Amino acid sequence: MNNIIQLNLIQFSLIYLLLLLVLFIMKKSKINQTRLLVLASLRMTIQLVLAGFVLTYIFRNPHPIFTTIYIIAMVAFAIQRVLSKNRGLNTKFKIGIAISIGISGILILSYFVMIIVGESLLNPQYTIPLAGMIIGNSMTGVTLAIKTFMESIDTQRDKIDSLLNLGVTPRKILIPYVNNALETALLPTMNSMLGMGIISLPGMMTGQILSGTLPSVAILYQISIMIAICTSVCLTTFLSLSIGYKSLYNKRSQINIFL
């Protein structure tokens, strides 16, 4: 296999021309999101350039402390994103989400890097990209789950009140919403597993093949990361919801959904 062709910066910048096509279609369809498109492209570029610099530095000067800091920053950012997308949660719920993302992410990541790959968890080349995929997907899953959970119990106040008035325990009332939210969070991951290899060649595998890895090796990594992502999404969401739903009621079996 050939090694990857380095992108020439001038050639590379031509990719931005494609955005003009998006802008044109958006203008035609009267979608008033030009600012968002510009902002999103700009932010992505800046963020990735920075990440590129930081990663280059870390790979050249591998030190356990850099890897550790990078992972902690990733987890912290993921937690912050989930919480900012779900306002109005009580403190215990928020702490539950933070702990769940941290514990499940690190656990699954360690299993992958140390047992499947057989590398040190502090090796940045493996740990950082894999952590990004595992924690990033967990973040998306949890955000979706908590949103679904809170919205469905908020819109079903009359049902919840009726069941409480009848002497049903808060646990029995809330568990169906927990299960439903967990399912909602898991479906996208499982659906993407269904189409993998046929409808799409997934990102990590594409990346590895582009940089010269044999497809036979790339698929093993891809299968492993998909299973790791699925497990991490499941575990993070399950833990977040399990801690979270209990924070919504007190010893007197009164349910308080929002702060």
Name the site residues for another protein (rule: CB under 8 A): 157-159, 161-169, 172-173, 252-254
Q: How far is the CB of 172 from another protein (least distance, A)?
A: 6
Alpha-carbon torsion angle 122, 128, 129, 135, nearest 10: 110
Q: How far is the CB of 166 from another protein (least distance, A)?
A: 6
Residue 64 CB coordination number (10 Å): 12
- Judged by beta carbon, residue 118 or residue 167, the one nearer another protein is 167
Q: How far is the CB of 244 from another protein (least distance, A)?
A: 21
Q: How far is the CB of 175 from another protein (least distance, A)?
A: 11
- Judged by beta carbon, residue 4 or residue 168, the one nearer another protein is 168
- Judged by beta carbon, residue 80 or residue 256, the one nearer another protein is 256
- Judged by beta carbon, residue 72 or residue 154, the one nearer another protein is 154
Find the angle CA(80)-CA(82)-CA(84) to the nearest 5 degrees. Answer: 65
